[in-house]
Amino acid sequence: MPDMEIENSSVSRAEEIKVLANEAFKVHKYAQAIDLYSKAIEINEHNAVYWANRAFAHTKLEEYGSAIQDASKAIEVDPKYSKGYYRRGAAYLAMGKFKEALKDFQQVKKLCPNDPDAAKKLKECEKAVMKLKFEEAISVPESERRSIADSIDFHSIDVEPQYSGARIEGDNVTLDFVKRMMDDFKNQKCLHKRYAFQIVLQTREMLQALPSLVDINIPDGKHFTVCGDVHGQFYDLLNIFELNGLPSEENPYLFNGDFVDRGSFSLEVILTLFAFKCMCPTAIYLSRGNHESKSMNKIYGFEGEVRSKLSETFVELFAEVFCCLPLAHVLNRKIFVVHGGLFSVDGVKLEDIKAIDRFREPPEEGLMCELLWSDPQPLPGRGPSKRGVGLSFGGDVTKKFLQENNLELVVRSHEVKDEGYEVEHDGKLITVFSAPNYCDQMGNKGAFIRFEAPDLKPDIVTFSAVPHPDVKPMAYANNFLRMFS
């Protein structure tokens, strides 16, 4: 067969695979779409469309680092292909890198001067950058910042006689109150700000006193449940309690970060978890996720939701309290539980984690960042993060960390899994994710893990999503980001 014919048949084969990839993308099978786009790229790497489409699929899986790489490759292949700049701008935006996003959208506008959609997105991006510059200009240095919590006296806030919702009598949060509050939330009623302040301030006091790495002791014959990301899916949280019982001293839980953002009932989720913490500190343990941070909350909905349902003061207060959340937990000196994953260097000891000064916004590198952001990879060693923050680490890294710290298992969350969980690294690492049908479109199951002492063998329970009121995910998110979701 002449060279030209071989080349033509390769090009048409790549196109056929691209069509299959597009079909997978349409039904939200993003990982499958990525595999298929990769096959098309192997056959014909000089087609910018394949790179840009794969970038879009990476964005859907929150793999923004990979999306930026692919979109940059699309631009390299065809510098006049506007979709390349568009996809890269959207990925920068999702990471909160507004200035980088602005440059790409300016380029889109230059290439498509008459496209009203490009003009609209550029305008929104310019507004976001202006707002950012304004906030930077008026921000007070960390060292001079006064705690918002210290300025709030919830006792002095009156509760109007017409308020008919849940009430805390005195200073103690009781089970009756929590049940009534959850019932009100289920019926889309709000909690009075006096009680919301009380719950958040009492939780802050408790969290402040904890170390950055918390040791949990589970007595023989007793059990303990670990849940992964909930992401504002309040009705699925209620379903977890339905399936596994309410948190109590006899039925303790650890929620492993990412309680908020994306789902539009994040306030209900966080107030419920905090209320159980106030009711009985040993009934529930809470670990920080990468979404318990200002930069994420500004983009993915929690900040907008709190502002809409409560007030600006609560936005600042939650940001402060999130900085008090511990970074990791160890169960019976055997199981290491963390939101994201392990480290870019060997030799990290539990004592090093305990020594982290966590009372801050997460930095962009170092141990604290890696605990919140890293992901496992199938290959040994370490690699760049597909998210653009943290790193990917192999089974050898997991094995060494466990050996050096005399531990048996890593449990982490942070990633959507089709079955709600995944066992990796020769059984030494389990990912657990507790937000089923994530963002109302991923079709995944949720899961939680029950451990019973003394052997602490993981018993994984999976569950499906339950209906919720018709408020879409990201309803309170940054305007600009909603344009791309």
Task: Compute how many other C-beta atoms are within 10 angstroms of the C-beta atom of residue 370.
Answer: 23
> By three-state DSSP, how is residue 392 classified?
strand
Q: Report whether 328 contacts 371 (CB < 8 A).
A: yes
Q: Report whether 88 contacts 82 (CB < 8 A).
A: no
Q: Report whether 353 contacts 288 (CB < 8 A).
A: no
What does DSSP assign to residue 436? T
Q: Report whether 364 contacts 389 (CB < 8 A).
A: yes
Distance (Å, whole) CA 396 – CA 403: 10
Distance (Å, whole) CA 299 – CA 100: 15
End-to-end distance of the chain based on CA atoms, in angstroms?
A: 46
Active-site residue, from 192, 231, 291, 425: 291
Q: What amino acid occupies position 172?
A: N
Can you list the alpha helix ranges (DSSP code H) found in 187-301? 193-208, 234-244, 266-279, 294-300
Region of residue 443 (left: phi > 0; alpha: psi -120 to 50; beta: else): left
Distance (Å, whole) CA 426 – CA 433: 19
Residue 291 falls in the annotated catalytic set? yes
Rounded to an integer, what is the distance from CA 436 to the centroid of its chain?
14
Q: Give the CA distances from residue 264 to residues 20, 89, 351, 386, 438, in Å, rounded to whole numbers and listed in that order.
A: 33, 25, 37, 26, 12
Beta pairing class for 328-331 and 284-286: unpaired
> By three-state DSSP, how is residue 477 classified?
coil
Q: Report whether 191 contacts 270 (CB < 8 A).
A: no
Q: Report whether 400 contacts 431 (CB < 8 A).
A: no
Name the residues annotated as catalytic: 291
